[in-house]
Amino acid sequence: MKKFLLFIALYGVVLNTLNSQSASREDFAIQKEVELKIKSGSVESISAKKKKEKLIEAFDLLTGIRNDSLKLKLLSNLSYYIEPQDSAFFRKVNNTTKELAMVSKDSVALAYSFWDLGYFYNRISVKDSSYYSYYEAQKIFEQLGESFLSARMLYNMAKQQQEVRDYIGSEANTIAAIERLKPLNKYKELYNCYNTLAVNSQDLGEYAQAIEYYDQALYYLKNTEYKELDIKQNVNNRGMLYSDLGNYKKALENFEENLKGPSLANSNIELYSKTLVNIALTKLNLNETSGVFNLIKESIKINDSLKDIRGLASSYFAKSKFHLYDNDTLNAINSAEKAIELASESLSYERLLETYAFLAEIDNKNASKYAQKYIALNDSIVMEERQARNKFARIRFETDEFIAQNEQLEEETAILARQKQIWSGVALGFFLLGISVYIIINQRAKNQKLLFAQQQQANNQEIFNLMLTQKQKVDEVKRLEQKRISEELHDGVLGKMLGARMVLTGLNKRTGPEAIEARLEAINALKNVEQEVRSISHELSHSAYQKINNFINSVEDLLGTVKESSQIITIFNYDEDEDYDALKGEIKINLYRMIQEGLQNAIKHSDGKTFFVKFERNGDILSVEMGDDGKGFDLEKEKRGIGMRNISSRVEKLNGTWKVISEPMKGTTITLEIPLQHVDSNSQAVLQKV
């Protein structure tokens, strides 16, 4: 027998191993097919429609993968290649990733899904949503101790802030990223961070600080496997800084340095065209015109071939500057208007503002029109950037420290307002008083709610303890009854049978009247034993049919409490073959409370004559139906009271469902569906057959 059981166990292990290997092979095959679809959908030469079809096919195939970690990895890879215009498809993939990550409790995968979402929003220029998504990813990475990934999210957040001119916030997040990157010697990322700090300082007019940051950025860049193009980009940024500073000679030196050495036109044609425009504008600022027009003409030709509308706007702006320097006002205006057209098309607002200001100076006839456009656009940009900064601030400062600072700011504002006008101070005082009252009332309500929850928990525990105590008592009664029956059988029945046997043995070979009389007495003794056995059997049968069941008894006792206090009749039906004591304590407590709530509602509101409860098991679902034959109510018109809300809350705790059926004068029925398996990730079946 032992060998047989060992064989069965080994067979089960082998079978599980084979199934696992089979599943792994299937996942591997699907993975290769998905990766092939993603690769074919990321090829630049095919149409956008074809790309989307390939990526959708890859997504559909992913549902067949059983390994959650592998599926999450492929989902993240897939989302990276979805085009910005396919917003609905991206959100579907991203939401699937988030849900799977939360179900499998994979915090890293969840953080990566927020990262993907932030990148997507950045591509479609929704800065606040991009910032928020990076912020959520950063919090998870920080909690997991992933300093490098946390730093990258802080840098991404800083870039979003930089684009809406939230330079202070951008600087704070960039410095936080640097603090995490330095111990890790991540030089490439440190270069990006210091470059961002330099741009922030430059836009704030802190030129000396900006030069220091550019120097530090260059230091870290040279500690990486950098490309010559990275150095040239740094030099170009320095040239722009010196130009903003008004040091045009130094600016020209940096721009012209980029044209030395290997051909910039071959390595990066966009930067080459930008450098030509920068040299042209810088020379004009130095009152030099030698070769300027040819530089501008070549930049226009390059940008036109690249279809770089933003670059063309810069080229035509430089052209308008040249014509003005050449005293050709008409062509200067025409070139500037062309620059406005291109800047508007490419949403290059800084170039648009600069060109409006330029035209307001040179076009006397339309100066007012361009000035108004400049003011309107500038106000619009300022307002949009301010709103974005405010959104960033709300996300960034969801802490107690921010609340304290905000309250202090409100207090300072109130003091200033009282100094200006007495009536506004009084109004503000009432406003603050109202807030205080609201906070006190709200806090008191929260405290009461907490106390109620604690009391409810204590009551639930008490009920559970009573159930356990009752079960112990019943078990003790059973044990004593078994002992009594054992004693009856041993001391009574067995003794009498032994006496009769000995008498019959002694009379076995004897004859005569005395022997016959003795045999009759022995037979009568056996009849008495028969009667005694029958009596004990009846007792056992009665005990067997009287099913002792603690939870069922508790429900029956609950329903029995209304017999003295109410005229309502209670009916309780359940399958006696089910062991309801095997239910989890949480289910029994909450089910008892919901039946209690339904019974109270029937007594108080139904005016009915009967209240019924029915337990029925359907597979892994315990169906509970309870209701009354009272006056009912209109579900659409009647508001749910606290009793119904309590039932809803308890069913939700058990991962179950419920519904109410009621019509006027047709009674009310409440149906509960409670899962008996997989109540949580570790649960097993909680109800077994007796």
Encode pLDDT of 407-425 as tens digits.
Answer: 565 566 666 667 777 777 7
pLDDT > 50? residue 192: yes
Residue 627 lies in a domain: yes
Nearest to 204 by CA among 252, 169, 233: 169
pLDDT digits (tens, 9 = 90+) for 137-161: 999 999 999 999 999 999 999 988 8
pLDDT at 482 over 70: no
- Structure letter (DSSP) for residue 603: I
Tell whether the model's pLDDT for residue 656 goes beyond 90. Answer: yes
**Bridge partners of residue 669, in order along the sequence:** 627, 661
Percent of the chain scoring above 70 in pLDDT: 77
224-238, 248-262, 320-334, 454-468: range with lowest mean pLDDT: 454-468
- Domain total in the chain: 1
Selection from 197-206, 266-275, 505-514, 664-673 with the highest mean pLDDT: 664-673
Buried-exposed string 387-406: b where 16+ CB fall within 10 A, e elsewhere: ebbebbeeebeeeeeeeeee
Looking at the domain assignment, is residue 560 inside a domain? yes
Q: Decide if 571 is inside a domain.
A: yes
Lowest mean pLDDT among 156-165, 372-381, 468-477, 547-556: 468-477
Residue 673 pLDDT: 93
The string over 105-138, giving b where at least 16 C-beta atoms fall within 10 Å of a residue's C-beta and e elsewhere, is: ebeebbbbbbbbbbbbbbeeebbbbbbbbbbbbb
Is residue 602 a contact partner of residue 619, using CB atoms and an 8 Å limit?
Answer: no
Alpha-carbon gap, residue 136 to 243, rounded angstroms: 39
Residue 639 is assigned to a structural domain of this protein: yes
Domain annotation covers residue 40: no
Look at residue 179 and tell me if it is in a domain. Answer: no
Location of structure tokens 């039906």: 573
3-class DSSP assignment, residue 396: helix
- Amino acid at the residue 92: K
Q: How far apart are CA 537 and CA 522, in angstroms?
A: 22
Dig out the tokens for 209 from the structure. Answer: 């600080």
pLDDT tens, 389-398?
666 666 656 5
Is residue 100 in a domain? no
Whichever domain contains 668, its CATH number is 3.30.565.10
Task: Supply the mean pLDDT for the chain.
Answer: 78
Q: Identity (one letter) of the amino acid at 481?
A: E
d(CA 625, CA 228): 77
Write out the residue range of the structural domain in which residue 580 sits: 551-675
What is the reported pLDDT for 334? 86
Give me 471's structure tokens. Answer: 């079960």
With beta carbons less than 8 A apart as the criterion, state whether 51 and 83 touch: yes
Is 666 contained in some domain? yes
- Give 689's pLDDT tier (boundaries 50, 70, 90): very low
pLDDT of residue 659: 92
Place 466 in a pLDDT band, splitting at 50, 70 and 90: low
Find the farthest-apart pair of alpha carbons in the chain and give their distance in angstroms, rounded: 162
Give the pLDDT of residue 363: 79
Q: Using the Cα atoms of residue 374, residue 380, residue 383 and residue 388 in order, give the sign of their dihedral.
A: negative
Q: Does the pLDDT at position 458 exceed 80?
A: no
pLDDT of residue 681: 37
Highest mean pLDDT among 83-92, 142-151, 464-473, 493-502 belongs to 142-151
pLDDT tier, 493 (very low <50, low <70, confident <90, very high otherwise): low
Structure tokens at 477: 């009664």
Percent helix, strand, coil in the chain, to 5, is: 75, 5, 20
Q: What angle in degrees, to the nearest 10, is found between the helix axes of 2-41 and 68-80?
A: 0
Predicted structure pTM score: 0.50
Tell me how far apart the alpha carbons of residues 306 and 269 are, in angstroms, rounded to a whole number.
Answer: 9
638-646 — which CB contacts under 8 Å span 24+ positions? 643/597, 643/600, 643/601, 646/593, 646/594, 646/597
Token pair recorded at residue 140: 């998870």
* Rounded Cα distance, 130 and 124, in Å: 9
Could you read off the pLDDT of 314-352 as tens digits, one per residue? 888 888 888 887 888 888 888 888 888 888 888 887 888
- Strand pairing category for 621-628 and 657-662: unpaired
- Give the integer Cα–Cα distance in Å for 121 and 132: 10
> Which pLDDT score is estimated for 548?
43
**pLDDT band with cut points at 50, 70 and 90 for residue 685:** very low
